[in-house]
C-alpha cells in the first residue's frame, strides 16, 4: 500500500477513518440542502407542472419515483461491490464500512422501486403484480441485497464478515447482467410485446427534465444517508481510538 | 400547471389512489432512511460517551 | 535439514496440475462413496419434490406434462442446493481444509476437482435418474434428450455457483438455510435457459441455442467460480 506512487493522495487519506469522518461531516450539510431542494422541487414539478401522459393519464407521474429509485438501487449495488473489492484488495477499513452501509439503503430503494412498480401496474395492466421483466429483475436484485445482508449479520467477526460479503457482492455484480438478460429474454418468450411501463419512444422535455431532477435528487439523498451511516459505523468501529474519545468528551 | 383546481389535483384524473399511495411510500422510505441513521447515531454517541465516563471513573 | 525440506517440497511440487486434479478427484469421490446415505439423499429429495406436484396441483396428465419441464428443473435445482452444504463441511471439521489452503498447490485446481467430484455424485446422478422421474410427470418422449442434455450442461454451473455459497458459509454453524438465500437468486439464469431447452425439445424446436447459452454460463463459471471459491475458503478458514 505504501509503495505505489500512481494512486492519488486523497485515496490514502480516504483510508483514514478520522479524515473520512471529518470530510463527511463537512459535506453533509451541503448534500442535505441539495437533496431537499432537488427532491421537493422535483416532486412539485412532477406532480403539478409535468403534463399527463396521453395513454396512461396521471398515473404516469409514478415514473418520477419509480425510475430514480430503480436506478439508485442498481448504482448502490455497484458501489457496494466496488467498495467491497477495494476493501479486499487494499485492506481499507473505510471501504468495508461503505460497503456495509450500502446494503440496507440499496435494499430499501429496491423495495420502493418494487412497490411503486406494483402500484403503477394496477391502473396500467389491471393487477397489482405482473411478471414484467424490469420488475422481476428488481425483485431478484432485492434478493441479492437480502443475501448480502444475511451473510453479513451471520458472521460474527467484523473483518471476516466484510471480506465474505465483498466476495458475494462481486459474484452478484458479475451475475447481474446475466440475470437481467435472461429475465428479459424469458419475458419476451412468455409475454410477447406487452405495453412497457417506462420505455417511451420519445419523451418530451417537459416530462424528462423533472425526471432528471428527481434522479439527481435521489443521488444527493443517497449520498446524505450513506454518509450518515458511514459516520456512525466509523464511530462504532473506532471507539477505542484516541480521536473518538476526544470527540465524544469534548461535547 | 396541468390542473385547474385543487380537487382535480387530488383526484389525479381518477388515479389519485395510485399516485398518492406511491408518493406516500416514497416519503416514508426516504424519511426512514434519514431518521434511522440519525437516531442510531445519537444512541451510539450517548452509549459510547457513557462508557468513556464509566471507564475514566473506574480507573 | 533445510535442504531436505526444500527438496521434499520441490518433489511434491513436481506433481503436475493434472496429477493434482486427479488425486483430489479420487480422494473426494472415495470419501463420498463411503457415506452412502448422503449420496442418495439428493436423489430421494428429487423424487419426493416431484411427487408433491401431482398431489398439490393435479394428477391430470395433460396438465402435468405442461408443468413437467419447470417442475423437473426446479426440483433438480433444489436437490443440488440441498447437497451443497456438505461440500466443504467435513473437510473443514477435520482440519484438512486448512492443510489444503496452506499447501503450495494451486487452489484453483484443487477446488475445481472437489466441485467436479461433488457434481458427479449429485448433478450427474440427477441427470441420469431425471428421465425415469420425468415419465411420472408425463413429459413427452421428445422432451427427454432436451431434459438430459440441459441438466448435463446446467447442473455443473449450479454446483460451481453453489460451491461459492458453501465456501462462504463453511465457518458458520448453521449455514444450510443461508446458502439457499445467497445462491438461489444466482441460479435463476440457469433455470430459465434449462427450462426453455426442455420446452423447446417438447415442441420440436431446435434446442442448440439454449444448450449453447447453458454452455456459455458453464464456461464462465469454470473460469471465475474457482477463484471466488478459493477466496471465500481463505476468508472462512482464517476468520
Three-state SS for C124-173 is HHHHHHHHHHHHHCCCCCCHHHHHHHHHHHHHHHHHHHHHHHHHHHCCCC
Q: Could you tell me which chains touch chain B, where touching means 3 or more CB pairs under 8 A?
A: A
Residue A186, all three cell numbers? 424469458
pLDDT band at A2 (very low <50, low <70, confident <90, very high): very low
In this structure, is residue C11 part of a structural domain? no
Per the CB < 8 A criterion, the answer to whether A99 and A173 are in contact is no
Per CB distance under 8 Å, which residues of A are interface residues toward B?
39, 43, 47-52, 57-59, 61-62, 65-66, 69, 105, 108-109, 111-112, 115-116, 119-120, 122-123, 221, 224-225, 228-229, 231-232, 235-236, 239, 244-245, 248-249, 251
CA-closest candidate to residue A64, choices A184, A210, A187, A197:
A210
- The domain locations on chain A are 31-50+60-193+206-249
Q: Which of A145, A159, A156 is nearest to C182 (CA)?
A: A145
The model carries a pTM of 0.90
Q: Is there a domain that residue C10 lies in?
A: no
Subunits next to C (3 or more Cβ pairs <8 Å) are: A
Alpha-carbon separation of residue A71 from A227, C24, C122 (angstroms): 19, 45, 39
Q: Which residues contact A244 (CB under 8 A, 6 or more apart)?
A: A235, A238, B48
By C-alpha distance, the chain A residue nearest B5 is A48
| Nearest residue in chain C measured CA to CA from A178 | C189
Judge contact between C193 and A181, C-beta under 8 A. no
Decide if the complex's ipTM is over 0.95. no
For chain B, give every domain's residue range: 6-58
A-facing residues of B in 1-59 (CB < 8 A) are 1-3, 9, 12-16, 18-19, 21-23, 25-26, 29-30, 32-34, 37-38, 40-41, 44-45, 48-49, 51-52
Residue identified by cell 442448440 is: C208
Per-residue pLDDT of chain C (239 residues; tens, 9 = 90+): 455 555 555 555 567 888 888 988 999 888 888 887 778 888 999 999 999 999 998 889 989 998 999 999 999 999 999 888 888 988 898 888 888 888 888 889 999 999 999 999 899 999 999 999 999 999 999 899 999 999 999 999 999 999 999 999 998 887 778 999 999 999 999 999 999 999 999 988 888 899 999 999 999 999 999 999 999 999 998 87
Cβ–Cβ gap C232/A147 under 8 Å: no
Cβ contacts of A155 on chain C, cutoff 8 Å: 171-172, 239
Amino acid at each position: 500500500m505504501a509503495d505505489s506512487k500512481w494512486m492519488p493522495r486523497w485515496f490514502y487519506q480516504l483510508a483514514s477513518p478520522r479524515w473520512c469522518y471529518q470530510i463527511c461531516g463537512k459535506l453533509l450539510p451541503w448534500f442535505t440542502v441539495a437533496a431537499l431542494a432537488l427532491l421537493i422541487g422535483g416532486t412539485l414539478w412532477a406532480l403539478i407542472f409535468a403534463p399527463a401522459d396521453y395513454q396512461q393519464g396521471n398515473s404516469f407521474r409514478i415514473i418520477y419515483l419509480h425510475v430514480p429509485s430503480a436506478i439508485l438501487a442498481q448504482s448502490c449495488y455497484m458501489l457496494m461491490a466496488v467498495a467491497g473489492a477495494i476493501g479486499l484488495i487494499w485492506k481499507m477499513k473505510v471501504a468495508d464500512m461503505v460497503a456495509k452501509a450500502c446494503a440496507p439503503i440499496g435494499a430499501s430503494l429496491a423495495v420502493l422501486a418494487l412497490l411503486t412498480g406494483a402500484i403503477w401496474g394496477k391502473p396500467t395492466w389491471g393487477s397489482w403484480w405482473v411478471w414484467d421483466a424490469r420488475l422481476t429483475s428488481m425483485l431478484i436484485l432485492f434478493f441479492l441485497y437480502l443475501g448480502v445482508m444475511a451473510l453479513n449479520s451471520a458472521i460474527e467477526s467484523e473483518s471476516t464478515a466484510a471480506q465474505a460479503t465483498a466476495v458475494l457482492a462481486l459474484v452478484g455484480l458479475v451475475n447481474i447482467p446475466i440475470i437481467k438478460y435472461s429475465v428479459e429474454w424469458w419475458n419476451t418468450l412468455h409475454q410477447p410485446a406487452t405495453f412497457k411501463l417506462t420505455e417511451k419512444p420519445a419523451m418530451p422535455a417537459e416530462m424528462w427534465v423533472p425526471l432528471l431532477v428527481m434522479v439527481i435528487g435521489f443521488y444527493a439523498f443517497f449520498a446524505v444517508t450513506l454518509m450518515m451511516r458511514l459516520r456512525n459505523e466509523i464511530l462504532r468501529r473506532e471507539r477505542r481510538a484516541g480521536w473518538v474519545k476526544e470527540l465524544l468528551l469534548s461535547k | 400547471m396541468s390542473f385547474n383546481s385543487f380537487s382535480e389535483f387530488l383526484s389525479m384524473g381518477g388515479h389519485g389512489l395510485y399516485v398518492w399511495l406511491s408518493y406516500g411510500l416514497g416519503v416514508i422510505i426516504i424519511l426512514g432512511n434519514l431518521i434511522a441513521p440519525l437516531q442510531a447515531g445519537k444512541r451510539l454517541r450517548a452509549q459510547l460517551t457513557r462508557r468513556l465516563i464509566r471507564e475514566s471513573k473506574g480507573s | 535439514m533445510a535442504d531436505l525440506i526444500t527438496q521434499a517440497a520441490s518433489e511434491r511440487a513436481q506433481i503436475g496440475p493434472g496429477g493434482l486434479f486427479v488425486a483430489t478427484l479420487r480422494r473426494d469421490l472415495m470419501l463420498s462413496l463411503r457415506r452412502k446415505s448422503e449420496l442418495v439423499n439428493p436423489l430421494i429429495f428429487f423424487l419426493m419434490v416431484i411427487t408433491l406436484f401431482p398431489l398439490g396441483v393435479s394428477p391430470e396428465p395433460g396438465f402435468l406434462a405442461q408443468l413437467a419441464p419447470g417442475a423437473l428443473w426446479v426440483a433438480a435445482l433444489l436437490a443440488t442446493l440441498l447437497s451443497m452444504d456438505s461440500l466443504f463441511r467435513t473437510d473443514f471439521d477435520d482440519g484438512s481444509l486448512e492443510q489444503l489452503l496452506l499447501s503450495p498447490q494451486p487452489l484453483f485446481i484443487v477446488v475445481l476437482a472437489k466441485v467436479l467430484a461433488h457434481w458427479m455424485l449429485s448433478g450427474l446422478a440427477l441427470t441420469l435418474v431425471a428421465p425415469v422421474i420425468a415419465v411420472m410427470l408425463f413429459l413427452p418422449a421428445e422432451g427427454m434428450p432436451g431434459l438430459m442434455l440441459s441438466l448435463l450442461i446446467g447442473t455443473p454451473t449450479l454446483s460451481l455457483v453453489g460451491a461459492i455459497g458453501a465456501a462462504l458459509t463453511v465457518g458458520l454453524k448453521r449455514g444450510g438455510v443461508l446458502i439457499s438465500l445467497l445462491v438461489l437468486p444466482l441460479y435463476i439464469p440457469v433455470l430459465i435457459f434449462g427450462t426453455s431447452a426442455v420446452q423447446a425439445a417438447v415442441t420440436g424446436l431446435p434446442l442448440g441455442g439454449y444448450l449453447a447459452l447453458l454452455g456459455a454460463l458453464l464456461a464462465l463459471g469454470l473460469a471465475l467460480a474457482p477463484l471466488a471459491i478459493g477466496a471465500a475458503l481463505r476468508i472462512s478458514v482464517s476468520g
